[in-house]
Chain A
Amino acid sequence: QVQLQQSGAELVKPGSSVKISCKASGYTFTSYDMHWIKQQPGNGLEWIGWIYPGNGNTKYNQKFNGKATLTADKSSSTAYMQLSSLTSEDSAVYFCARATRRTGFDYWGQGVMVTVSS
C-alpha cells in the first residue's frame, strides 16, 4: 500500500534552515509527482511546489521561490524540502502528497510540524 512517511517535528531558530523528508513506499517513486503543502491554523492550505523524481524537474509557487527547495533521492525513494531564512511566518505543518497530473493529490504524508522560535 502507498505510504508517505515524513520526518519528525522540528524546533528551529529564526534565520536558520530546516530540511524535512518524505519517504515513499508501495509504489514506483519515480513515476509520480511529489507535492508539498503548507498548513497554518487560520491560513488554510497553500501549495508550495512539486518535484518529479523521475527527472528532478520542479515547479514552485512564486510565493515560495527562494524559501523552499525541493529535491529527491531515487536510491532511497525519499523527497526532501529545505526551507531557508526561517521566520515565525514559516511555523506550520508541512505535508508531502503524491499526485498524478490527471487526478491531483491522492496520498498524503502525516505532516511535519515546524516551529520557528528563539
Chain B
Amino acid sequence: DIQMTQSPSFLSASVGDRVTINCKASQNINKYLNWYQQKLGEAPKRLIYNTNNLQTGIPSRFSGSGSGTDYTLTISSLQPEDFATYFCLQHNSFPNTFGAGTKLELK
C-alpha cells in the first residue's frame, strides 16, 4: 500500500496568512493527488483534484502543486471560513490512501 505522510498535523495561523500543507507519498503517484477540506460533522469537500486542478466553486486562494512523491496545498490568504481540517488522498492505485490530516486553527 502507498503510505501518505502529511505535515504538519496541526497548524496555527491568522486571517490573511499564507499557509502550506504537504503530503509525501511512499512512491510515485503520478499526480493523482486530491485535497479535501472537512469541518466538524460535515462531509469532506474536494478543493483540488489531480494535484493542481481547482474544483468548481472553490475560491482561487486555494492552489495545489507537486509531482512524483511530493505535493503541496497552499492557501494564499486565510479567511475565517478556512479554519478546518485538510487531508490528501492518492487515487493512483488501490487501495486509495489518505494523509492523516492537518488541523488548521486560528492563532
Contact = CB atoms under 8 A, between A and B. Distances in A.
Contacts of B95: 47, 61-63
Interface size class for chain A?
Answer: 20 to 34
Interface string B37-58: 0000011111001100101000
A97 B45 CA distance: 11
The residue in B42, B45, B94, B99 that gathers the most chain A C-beta atoms within 10 A of its C-beta is B94
Contacts of A35: 96
Contacts of B98: 44-47
A50 B9 CA distance: 28
Nearest to B92: A104
Is chain B's interface secondary structure helix, strand, loop, or mixed overall? loop
Given A47-B96, A104-B32, A111-B43, A99 B49 contact: no
B50 to A, nearest CB: 6
A80 interface: no
Given A44-B101, A95-B44, A111-B43, A104 B94 contact: no
B34 A105 contact: yes
Contacts of B45: 108
B91 A104 contact: yes
B83 interface: no
A59 interface: yes
Contacts of A97: 44
A40 to B, nearest CB: 12
Interface string B73-107: 00000000000000101010011111111000000
Contacts of B89: 45, 104-105
Interface of B: 32, 34, 36, 42-46, 49-50, 53, 55, 87, 89, 91, 94-101
